[in-house]
Structure 1
């Protein structure tokens, strides 16, 4: 079966009037820049939402969450792995121990590209035990999955090697990503030119925060949002709180996106982004109500397209 056919079988179809028409589960056809480089396709947010609905269903069928050590986590990982395998990725499940319980990371490599120059995008797949974790971090997990499937649908042939990752036990202290980085040799760490992290990118009262840890990677995102007329702010609230910290501590350049957690939106931020001042960015942060009703589809759409743009641009 071809990669395109496998992808269509794995993900189905989605159409959106506000987005370019797509066929099967493929994203809309990429444009070509004036310089001749292939630009990222527009990623249909419906596809990302479908992945979220599937993760919600996995949680509901496995005790209501996708937490480390719980059946919902491994079922979520297996669900995503099946889609990636069908699309032509080379997948690896890494095991690690956390407090006597086995945890798992999922790594997906797209064949080809310079193995000495790796662009990596990751998100934590685990939730807390109190709920299904749709914004935290179903959104990042689903967006990366759909972008990876778009890579396969377009049979992208990047100059650099592309790698995607879904981390376990982030909620317990970045355990999965720390284990992954610790297991890399010095040479393997040196091969990773960029690690991009996506943790909570569909908050219901969203801000548009960009990691400012590496100026060139930050610029990739800030310029993209500026072209869309969206003002961004540095993601200082997320410093050290998510899996990018594991890579940053190893000297690997990091970037990423974030729409806010339990912090309260200020009036200035509400004026900037059209949100509600005095309320949290995510009122359901780490609670049972973090379900499909806790997602801002506009933020999810914008951040997923920004993610795709970064993957295409940085790997070209």
Structure 2
């Protein structure tokens, strides 16, 4: 074939090439969309050695029963634990309960009760751990987070027992106190079984539907990547997910396991984020397809990890990603740079074979600058659109119901933002518009350079821009001089690597990142626009603009929240020594009509607690009759220890609240305080104390506890004590009615009553026990 035949072909041939290019991209787009749907649930009468979402859902229904919140230390938590024990006993696994008082590194303490059960294999000295937590937050029943994982583990345990013999034991760990502060995981790492673990498989959720994604691994994940590729039935994973997750202020139980030297993987589903930690995180909204997806993956990995003869932790990491949910491509991280260099060599060969149509290097650099300019225009333009929507009050929270169509509109903005006269833009950079190779090779060079940048800063994300260049280069080696094949392969590669980001970016990071959809879409479509510019004429741009207008216009019509995906809004009655007032927490802006309807209160920004650094939305002072009993603090003694003095206190909630707490000046540090004789343990990726301002806060999931403070001689304790109970008093039931009418519900810690007292400024000289702040009349007024 003559290398110049394509450019010299009549108009009909060019049009056919453009249509073929568009068809390839359309098929790839269809495969990408199809890959976002979880598999169908397997019926209950299916093969007993496989996973059935219907069987798992039946077990979960028995465990959750009335579907009420069951946070650490609550009566309902005890009931859920007993039901799980019944399910494990039914499976003849001889489960046991273990409790231990522990404290998180950021000052949350409690006594989690973990459930452990072994599925025996031939070798009892090694373990693969299947882990999930059974506690919920105060606001919701936790069917997704993480009841679905509990149901999945029960079904996986049954399937493992019914399947082939295991090489070594699998340990079921259904832990407690994860929502409080990963406390169950911290407690398990002090158990003797922790030293036998080869790998953890941790199952989580941040929603109620969607794909279950393998988003986290430990370091040295090359073996895991190989096992993912060999065994996952419908994979959704990539090394990019872990690179991003490492940058986020999020933790799971796996964070604790890894901090203590463990190795493993984490999976979660994140669809339906508006239901996360709310009352509608229930069985009704849990997608059984998602449960099937999570269960299939965890069962496959459990069998693969047990059967792997060598160590599961490798000496190196891997780059890996799934291709439309059908298979996984992976390579050792050490090969990334050689692959990039090989791609450059192949691209050079393809460039040389263009012959007379080979662009000058200066023109290629012009094409590179053109790509940079277009991406910058796309990103800045989309950001301005998003900021305009925010100013109009149409984007008020991190997640809201009506952002699906606007998300599609942001993707199509990439077509709208393409320059109307590309010839003029091309010429600005010294690029001949009659030669698309200038722009195509410039674009390939830009992507290749971006892959080198990613190799330096996010090595697991290098594949994002390298794979499209590699595919386009191979296409040009096979079909020299075919601009349509080059453009379509660049588009195909981008749909493989960047496409999953387009599909999950909003659910992963929220509305603030919507503008990024536009430049990411440009990375998919620009190569096609270069190679088949006739497909992106004025009519195409007008159609894209019309769809964008309809997408953004839908925000004026579609409600932002529904009772199935509610507006997050929690109300707390704050009782101080002098006054009682309501404090409202929500992402929705104070001036929003939605917010005013949801509360029915006149609110103003103000510090609701003296140790807070950020104002809350505070309501009017309440009546004397609305006050609650305040916590009681007793000094039990103080003992000199070298140059320090150890002060010992007893803290109790007079109303048997679910949580008690102590707040002290940050200058003391966490190490100065111990609750029930226990100090903090490690196992979090980020330092929450860095955001605490001038105070450090402790929370203990109990109604009473003792604590000690080690202070330099001459220094005296100061700060505050508090207790918190869930739910508002009956007198405030009308507030819940207003909230429901506005499609809002409590979230996370939910509604509650928080009562606080300041520590006194003076202490008795005698070293004797006594009540220091037993009631509000004995307490001095707190400083603002």
TM-score above 0.5 = yes
Alignment of 1:226-245 (within 5 A): 228=234, 230-233=235-238, 234-235=241-242, 236-237=244-245, 241-245=251-255
- CA distance in structure 1 between the aligned counterparts of 2:184 and 2:43, rounded to whole angstroms: 38
1:115–1:191 contact (8 Å) kept in structure 2: no
> 1:222, CA displacement in angstroms?
5.0
Which digits, 9 at most, give the CA deviation of each residue in 1:99-157, with x for residues without a partner?
Answer: 78643100011234322221111001111011110100011111011101122334x42
**Structure showing greater relative contact order (alpha-carbon pairs closer than 8 Å, 6 or more residues apart):** 1
Q: Does residue 300 in structure 1 map to residue 291 in structure 2?
A: yes
1:202–1:296 contact (8 Å) kept in structure 2: no
Secondary structure (helix, strand or coil) at the match of 1:130 reads coil
Which digits, 9 at most, give the CA deviation of each residue in 1:26-49, with x for residues without a partner?
Answer: x515xxxxxxxxxxx431110111
Q: Which segment is superposed worse, 86-95 or 196-205?
A: 196-205
1:58–1:72 contact (8 Å) kept in structure 2: no
Q: Does residue 209 in structure 1 map to residue 217 in structure 2?
A: no
2:197–2:262 contact (8 Å) kept in structure 1: yes
- CA distance in structure 1 between the aligned counterparts of 2:109 and 2:183, rounded to whole angstroms: 13
Which digits, 9 at most, give the CA deviation of each residue in 1:218-252, with x for residues without a partner?
Answer: 44335544x53x44232544876111122111211
- CA distance in structure 2 between the aligned counterparts of 1:87 and 1:202, rounded to whole angstroms: 28
Which digits, 9 at most, give the CA deviation of each residue in 1:155-198, with x for residues without a partner?
Answer: x42111111110100001100110110233xxx54421111100
Which residue of 56, 60, 64 corresponds with 2:64? Answer: 56
**Match for residue 33 of structure 1?**
none
**Match for residue 145 of structure 1?**
154
**Match for residue 84 of structure 1?**
88
**Match for residue 281 of structure 2?**
290
- CA distance in structure 2 between the aligned counterparts of 1:78 and 1:241, rounded to whole angstroms: 27
Which residue of 251, 263, 274 corresponds with 2:261? Answer: 251
Secondary structure (helix, strand or coil) at the match of 1:123 reads strand
Which digits, 9 at most, give the CA deviation of each residue in 1:248-278, with x for residues without a partner?
Answer: 1121111121112xxxxxxxxxxxxxxxxxx
- CA distance in structure 1 between the aligned counterparts of 2:162 and 2:79, rounded to whole angstroms: 25
> 1:21, CA displacement in angstroms?
6.9
Secondary structure (helix, strand or coil) at the match of 2:252 reads coil
**Match for residue 313 of structure 1?**
304
- CA distance in structure 1 between the aligned counterparts of 2:91 and 2:296, rounded to whole angstroms: 20
Q: Which segment is superposed worse, 294-303 or 131-140?
A: 294-303
**Match for residue 268 of structure 1?**
none
> 1:79, CA displacement in angstroms?
1.2
**Match for residue 145 of structure 2?**
136
**Match for residue 266 of structure 1?**
none
Secondary structure (helix, strand or coil) at the match of 2:209 reads coil
TM-score under structure 2 normalisation? 0.31
Q: Does residue 157 in structure 1 map to residue 165 in structure 2?
A: yes
- CA distance in structure 2 between the aligned counterparts of 1:44 and 1:86, rounded to whole angstroms: 17
- CA distance in structure 1 between the aligned counterparts of 2:253 and 2:76, rounded to whole angstroms: 21
- CA distance in structure 2 between the aligned counterparts of 1:171 and 1:22, rounded to whole angstroms: 31
> 1:82, CA displacement in angstroms?
1.5
1:211–1:257 contact (8 Å) kept in structure 2: yes
Secondary structure (helix, strand or coil) at the match of 1:149 reads helix
1:201–1:257 contact (8 Å) kept in structure 2: no
Q: Does residue 125 in structure 1 map to residue 125 in structure 2?
A: no
Q: Does residue 28 in structure 1 map to residue 28 in structure 2?
A: no
Higher gyration radius (CA): 2
1:194–1:253 contact (8 Å) kept in structure 2: yes
Change (3 A) 1:117 1:52: same
1:201–1:300 contact (8 Å) kept in structure 2: no
**Match for residue 264 of structure 1?**
none
1:90–1:111 contact (8 Å) kept in structure 2: no
Secondary structure (helix, strand or coil) at the match of 1:259 reads strand
> 1:85, CA displacement in angstroms?
1.8
List runs of 5+ in structure 1 lacking aligned partners: 1-17, 30-40, 261-279
Which structure's residues are more often helix, by fraction? 2
Change (3 A) 1:190 1:138: same
- CA distance in structure 1 between the aligned counterparts of 2:42 and 2:143, rounded to whole angstroms: 26
Secondary structure (helix, strand or coil) at the match of 2:169 reads strand
Q: Does residue 104 in structure 1 map to residue 104 in structure 2?
A: no
Q: Does residue 94 in structure 1 map to residue 98 in structure 2?
A: yes
> 1:54, CA displacement in angstroms?
2.2
- CA distance in structure 1 between the aligned counterparts of 2:207 and 2:304, rounded to whole angstroms: 23
Change (3 A) 1:291 1:28: same
- CA distance in structure 2 between the aligned counterparts of 1:161 and 1:49, rounded to whole angstroms: 25
Change (3 A) 1:20 1:200: closer
- CA distance in structure 1 between the aligned counterparts of 2:57 and 2:262, rounded to whole angstroms: 31
Q: Does residue 198 in structure 1 map to residue 203 in structure 2?
A: yes
Which residue of 218, 221, 227 corresponds with 2:228? Answer: 221
- CA distance in structure 1 between the aligned counterparts of 2:145 and 2:42, rounded to whole angstroms: 28
1:112–1:157 contact (8 Å) kept in structure 2: yes
> 1:207, CA displacement in angstroms?
5.9
1:212–1:218 contact (8 Å) kept in structure 2: no
List runs of 5+ in structure 2 lacking aligned partners: 1-39, 103-107, 308-784
Number of residue equivalences? 256
2:140–2:279 contact (8 Å) kept in structure 1: yes
